[in-house]
Amino acid sequence: MANVEFHDNSAAVKAALNGAIEAFLHEAAGELTSQTQRNTRVDTGQTKGAWQYNVAKSGTITVATIGNPLENAIWEEFGTGEYAIHGDGRKGGWKYRDRNGNWHCTKGKTPTRAFFTAYTSTKPKIIKLAELTIGAQMK
């Protein structure tokens, strides 16, 4: 009978896959964040500049999170007042004072959908990137 040696390479394979997944998530999240910034409406540039991403590992799961800590990002994405995309905004209009002290009347802010638009436009590119990045490790 022939002698057969078994080599367990599962740890090396898992490490290579995990590395490829993490690299993919950084690349994909960076691309999506950049596209969202390009789509963001600019007044002061504060909301546009606050988009960021984080890649973190929790146990065996690696997750990319993309977001903006500013409340205005929510208003830009979903709209306000009569323009809120789910129809749940304040009706009838209101007055507000801008940062220069000038008063304005408004019925709300139209949504820009910067993040949603970035997601839908970059989705095919991100899928292709996953195939190239992670698929290369599977060969």
pLDDT digits (tens, 9 = 90+) for 46-84: 999 999 999 999 888 999 999 999 999 999 999 999 999
pTM > 0.85: no
Are the C-beta atoms of residues 110 and 78 closer than 8 Å to each other?
A: no
Q: Is residue 4 part of a domain?
A: no
| Count of structural domains, the chain | 1
Q: Is residue 2 part of a domain?
A: no
Q: Is residue 1 part of a domain?
A: no
Q: Is residue 5 part of a domain?
A: no
Residues of the chain with pLDDT under 50: none
Backbone torsion region of residue 121, taken as left when φ is above 0, otherwise alpha when ψ lies between -120 and 50, otherwise beta: alpha
Which H/E stretch holds residue 123? helix 114-138
Q: What is residue 12's predicted lDDT score, i.e. its pLDDT? A: 85
Q: What is residue 136's predicted lDDT score, i.e. its pLDDT? A: 67
Domain range holding 83? Answer: 10-138
Are the C-beta atoms of residues 75 and 110 closer than 8 Å to each other?
A: no
